[in-house]
Structure 1
Amino acid sequence: MAPRALDYESLNENVKKVQYAVRGELYLRASELQKEGKKIIFTNVGNPHALGQKPLTFPRQVVALCQAPFLLDDPNVGLLFPADAIARAKHYLSLTTGGLGAYSDSRGLPGVRKEVAEFIGRRDGYPSDPELIFLTDGASKGVMQILNTIIRGEGDGVLVPVPQYPLYSASIALFGGSLVPYYLEETANWGLDVNDLRQSVSRARANGITVRAMVIINPGNPTGQCLSEANLKEILHFCYQENLALLGDEVYQQNIYQDERPFLSARKALLDMGPPISRELQLVSFHTVSKGYWGECGQRGGYFEMTNIPPKSVDEIYKVASVSLSPNVPAQIFMGLMVNPPKPGDMSYDQYVRESKGILESLRRRARIMTDGFNSCRNVVCNFTEGAMYSFPQIRLPPRAIQAAKQAGKVPDVFYCLKLLEATGISTVPGSGFGQKEG
């Protein structure tokens, strides 16, 4: 009998090529152990609420009222909810036609996109156009949308930092493109050398690959470094010289644990450089409600903003977004609240500041504890986690451990992480899942 459409042998080969380490072999084993009753701590993905981080009160109050608008008609609503939460819920409901159960524009609610544009304007000191902002179901969906638009076939390459977040390798494989790695230098605090970038592009071109775009993850995932202004401008200059679009994954911009290197957006660095580069370099920037002190991963709210993308291309991206009809509407409201939180003088302001400061200070403290803890262990070194949510230690395994891994038919770091999981219940991601330099 001929293979049927959904038999493994006849599936789309690109689907089989996809690997996604943060939900790979280790995660599956951890889930099995959890079913057997073992307590598992899932540190394999940035999922703060699953690890006990409390949701911020104000956004949950507003979205609760939007989800149950009949509460607004209750004479006692003022006893249960603060006045500013009630006002914001009415504001968001007024932006929708039919409330949260109705589709919105495929780019997201115009009123929320305006709030995002105002946030970007305040952050960067340059106005932003709401028509060039698309709200998405988390930043991942936005990244996939843009990669799908850029990649025309396996001859097209995208420069991705290694170690990288597996979203990029998985999506590039799915869309049939080629990942072109550029290696971050661990001994230079995961810094990026433009000469390495040039070599990566030359090697790819020698293999017949057309490099079309470059990804930066700032602050770094999984490496936790923050790019300096000088480094950012070098990258922008390089992309301009090589005619590459730049994809700026900036989802951890609120997660900064030191004061020497504050977050600087790729967009601000670009516009500071002035013409011709500021008018010509194509940039797409991504953000989310899943990280920062919000940690609202399950809500799936995100956006991307386009700079110097021609109107006809924006129309094509809009057309593809329309295929999904609309991003998740409650998540759009979470995004509006994130970029436009309570202001001084608002009833909820003090509580909001207290909660968000508490979370950030706790993350900052833990970044220090993790790094110091790793560095106090024998045969372990770890750069300080300047930002994002992860530490990326290097563990030097003794030769016999490497031998035991080979005998078990496992990559050494996978073998180590499996043993760690069995012994402690801590579920991690092996370094090889992010890609690494040889050795």
Structure 2
Amino acid sequence: MPGLLSSLNLHHHGLNMGRSSLTSLFRTSRLAVQSSSSPSQINHNTNVSTTTQEKPTLTIDNLNPNIKVMEYVVRGPVVIRAGEIEKELEKGVRKPFTEVIKANIGDCHAMGQVPITFTRQVLALVTCLKLLEDPYFSDDAKMRAKLILAGCRGSSVGSYTDSPGIEIIRKHVAEYIKRRDGIPADWQNIVISAGASDAIKNLLKLFICDVNGKKPGVMVPIPQYPLYSASLAEFNMHQIGYFLDESRNWGLDIAELNRSIQEARKVSNPRAIVVINPGNPTGQVFTRENIEEIIKFAHKEGLFIFADEVYQDNVYPEGSKFFSIKKVLMEMGAPYSNMELASFMSCSKGYMGECGLRGGYVEVLNMEPKVKEMYLKAISAMLCPTVLGQACLDTIMYPPQPGEPSYNNFLKEKNEVLESLKLRAKMVADAFNSMKGFSCNTVQGAMYAFPSMKLPPKAIEEAKKQNKAPDTFYAFELLEKTGISIVPGSGFGQKPGTYHFRTTILPQPEKLKEMLKKFAEFHKKFLQEWS
């Protein structure tokens, strides 16, 4: 009985135990002895069934119902199947192709884009301080690294920062906005976030409040980026879709905004409007006149504006120009310059493409002071945004300046990325417009095309038999036969009776040519099979 003996020996090591403690000790020892007996003895002595199954506390029936209804199609069923196919290829399963081309998501580096040298130098320096003595690294990169480290507690990126982010980086963001718009920005209105998505969700949460028995509604462009539909479903808020006009290169019609909000007021309380410019998935760039119309509409209806401007560096054709909503709103003067506005930017897009580092910011204007207190309190519960993401953001907000050692190379790398994207934007639109049954607007900005397609009635019937949306059926067929992964338009929203899909323009030029050639061959065979 080693368990009992070792327990009794405790007394000889200076432990003076009371009667109740000894009683408990003997019980524990007896159970220890029983546990060394045969299984039949244990069951006989303790009446414990070995087949008893604990019922899970959390089941699909008592799961948050909002999670069950939310969808994020960019990583949905087609993409999941693409991942399965990749694993099948690794195992040697024979397919009509040798690789999966992931044209479903705006993941620049995954599609071969080369990181900006200056950004990676600064990130290396802030994480490995010994490199500050290495002559390989440029002096301006070292200076940026030292500025960031000086803003970190203990001069380490491994420490927590203030919840809205490192002060010096917030000041650099404000300087960037001033250079961009020609209008001063207050660094205390800047909140750094783990990507723009995190900032968007944190702002949306502030609106979760029923008013007069109606839940809050948020106006979202259709087609929309699924972050919005997923987040609104998760928060049990009403998505108010307003259709962009495909015949006007996905422009905006104020009559459509009026129709949309009037319909919504029957069931919800509209409180905010989302504007995505340049557009995702549609690739349009709004004119200044269009932005003025949106601002006037939002003012008339008392809406808080969410300006999703993460693709502001991605503008391609001559004649297209990015105007921030803040710039236009301020230049319009009162009462518009007093409106509530949140503008979002990210490290993930543009020429940077640092998706995985999760850096972004929001500039919040004209928020009621007590509400701003609550907002800052809410984000403090998450402690702070990732510090490497903040450091990455700083290299974009405060890039190399003329005369600094890294400037020429930085400018060269930046321009090469943007020129290549401009070329690919035209390649994609031209290719789809040359295919029978396709129509694709000019890709003015962002990183995507959203072609419209006419599907044969037999294909639509087959999709219904498989309980799939017709564009989802098409996307699965394309994936299984070519290895090309796209996102069905039904996941973004589209006018009834129309079919689209989103594809990125991110594959490198040679890979993109190969992809578009495969696509054209597949589409020709698809029409022959289903016509």
TM-score, with structure 1 as normaliser:
0.97
Residues 177-197 of structure 1 deviation map (CA, whole Å, 9 limit, x = unaligned): 010000001011111111111
Residue identity in the other structure for 1:272? E
- Whole-Å Cα distance in 2 between the matches of residues 201 and 86 of structure 1? 52
Q: Give the 5 Å matches for 1:399-438.
A: 399-438=457-496
- Give 3-state SS (helix, strand or coil) of 1:219's partner: coil
Q: Does 1:24 align with 2:81?
A: no
Structure 2 counterpart of 1:5: 57
- Whole-Å Cα distance in 2 between the matches of residues 316 and 304 of structure 1? 16
Indicate which of 299, 316, 320 corresponds to 2:378: 320
Q: Does 1:128 align with 2:188?
A: no
Q: What's the offset of the Cα at 1:4?
A: 4.0
Q: Does 1:148 align with 2:208?
A: no
Residues 27-61 of structure 1 deviation map (CA, whole Å, 9 limit, x = unaligned): 11000000111511111111000000000001100
Residues 302-348 of structure 1 deviation map (CA, whole Å, 9 limit, x = unaligned): 00001111121111111111001000001111111101110111111
- Whole-Å Cα distance in 1 between the matches of residues 215 and 250 of structure 2? 29
Structure 1 counterpart of 2:394: 336
Structure 1 counterpart of 2:321: 262
* Structure 2: segments with no counterpart, 5+ residues: 1-52, 90-97, 498-531
Q: Does 1:192 align with 2:252?
A: yes
Segment of structure 1 superposing worse, 28-37 or 39-48: 39-48
Partners of 1:112 and 1:336 within 8 A in 2: yes
Residues 134-185 of structure 1 deviation map (CA, whole Å, 9 limit, x = unaligned): 0000000000001111122461100000000000000001011010000001
Structure 2 counterpart of 1:161: 221
- Whole-Å Cα distance in 2 between the matches of residues 33 and 239 of structure 1? 46
Residue identity in the other structure for 2:379? A
Q: What's the offset of the Cα at 1:244?
A: 0.4
Structure 2 counterpart of 1:355: 413
Partners of 1:4 and 1:10 within 8 A in 2: no
- Whole-Å Cα distance in 1 between the matches of residues 140 and 168 of structure 2? 18
Partners of 1:5 and 1:11 within 8 A in 2: no
Q: What's the offset of the Cα at 1:261?
A: 2.0
Q: What's the offset of the Cα at 1:96?
A: 1.1
Structure 2 counterpart of 1:235: 294
**Cα RMSD (Å):** 1.2
Structure 2 counterpart of 1:67: 127
Structure 2 counterpart of 1:284: 342
Partners of 1:3 and 1:10 within 8 A in 2: no
- Whole-Å Cα distance in 1 between the matches of residues 320 and 421 of structure 2? 17
Q: Does 1:244 align with 2:303?
A: yes
Calculate percent identity across the aligned residue pairs.
46
- Give 3-state SS (helix, strand or coil) of 2:229's partner: helix
Q: What's the offset of the Cα at 1:5?
A: 3.3
Partners of 1:3 and 1:9 within 8 A in 2: no
- Give 3-state SS (helix, strand or coil) of 2:61's partner: helix
Q: What's the offset of the Cα at 1:3?
A: 6.8
Structure 2 counterpart of 1:84: 140
Residues 373-419 of structure 1 deviation map (CA, whole Å, 9 limit, x = unaligned): 00000000000000000000001101111122122221110000001
Q: Give the 5 Å matches for 1:207-218.
A: 207=267, 209-218=268-277
- Whole-Å Cα distance in 1 between the matches of residues 261 and 55 of structure 2? 40
Indicate which of 212, 222, 240 corresponds to 1:180: 240
- Whole-Å Cα distance in 2 between the matches of residues 199 and 344 of structure 1? 50
- Whole-Å Cα distance in 1 between the matches of residues 161 and 262 of structure 2? 44
Indicate which of 385, 388, 412 corresponds to 2:446: 388
Structure 1 counterpart of 2:171: 114
* Structure 1: segments with no counterpart, 5+ residues: none
Residues 212-237 of structure 1 deviation map (CA, whole Å, 9 limit, x = unaligned): 00000000000000011001001000
Partners of 1:289 and 1:297 within 8 A in 2: yes
- Whole-Å Cα distance in 1 between the matches of residues 476 and 335 of structure 2? 52
Segment of structure 1 superposing worse, 90-99 or 172-181: 90-99
Structure 1 counterpart of 2:284: 225
Q: What's the offset of the Cα at 1:70?
A: 2.4
User: Deviating runs (4+, > 2 A) in structure 1?
Assistant: 1-5
Is the radius of gyration larger for structure 1 or structure 2?
A: 2
- Give 3-state SS (helix, strand or coil) of 2:363's partner: strand
- Whole-Å Cα distance in 2 between the matches of residues 2 and 423 of structure 1? 45
- Give 3-state SS (helix, strand or coil) of 2:153's partner: coil
- Whole-Å Cα distance in 1 between the matches of residues 442 and 392 of structure 2? 31
- Give 3-state SS (helix, strand or coil) of 1:343's partner: coil
Indicate which of 146, 150, 160 corresponds to 1:103: 160
- Give 3-state SS (helix, strand or coil) of 2:364's partner: strand
Q: Which has the higher contact order (CA 8 A, sep 6+)?
A: 1
Q: What's the offset of the Cα at 1:108?
A: 0.2
- Give 3-state SS (helix, strand or coil) of 2:200's partner: helix
- Whole-Å Cα distance in 2 between the matches of residues 354 and 91 of structure 1? 25
Partners of 1:293 and 1:359 within 8 A in 2: yes
- Whole-Å Cα distance in 2 between the matches of residues 428 and 411 of structure 1? 14
Structure 2 counterpart of 1:34: 86
Q: Aligned pairs, how many?
A: 433
- Give 3-state SS (helix, strand or coil) of 1:400's partner: helix
Structure 1 counterpart of 2:150: 94
- Whole-Å Cα distance in 1 between the matches of residues 55 and 345 of structure 2? 43
- Whole-Å Cα distance in 1 between the matches of residues 435 and 147 of structure 2? 53
- Whole-Å Cα distance in 2 between the matches of residues 198 and 305 of structure 1? 27
